[in-house]
Amino acid sequence: MIKAIDRDNINPKPVSSRTIRREAGAYLQNHLIFTDLRDAYRKGKITKQQLLTLRGQVKAGNAADAVNGLGKLLCRYERRTEG
C-alpha cells in the first residue's frame, strides 16, 4: 500500500553540530549494547517494543539498567525454549 508523502519530513529541521557530536559520542560508548539489542531482536528473542524500550533506556543514559533488562529477557527466552 502506498502512503501519502509527509511534506513536513521533506526538509527536516537543521541539527546543531554539538548535538550530533554528543549523540555520536553516546553511540560509540554504547555500541556493543546497541549491537546486542539488535541481534536479540533479529533472532526473535525480544519483541520490537522491548527493543525500543531498551534502546530508549540506553539513549537516556541508563545503559546498566538496559543491560540488566536484556539479561532478564534473554533468561526468560531460554527458559521458554527449553521446555
Residue 20 has pLDDT above 80, yes or no: yes
- In whole angstroms, give the CA distance from residue 55 to residue 69: 11
- In 3-state terms, what secondary structure has residue 75? helix
Predicted local distance difference test score (pLDDT) of residue 14: 85
Tell me the per-residue pLDDT of 33-72, one tens digit each, with 9 for 90 and over: 999 999 999 999 999 999 999 999 998 989 999 999 999 9
Per DSSP, the residues of 2-58 read PPPP-GGGTSPPP--HHHHHHHHHHHHHTHHHHHHHHHHHHTTSS-HHHHHHHHHHH
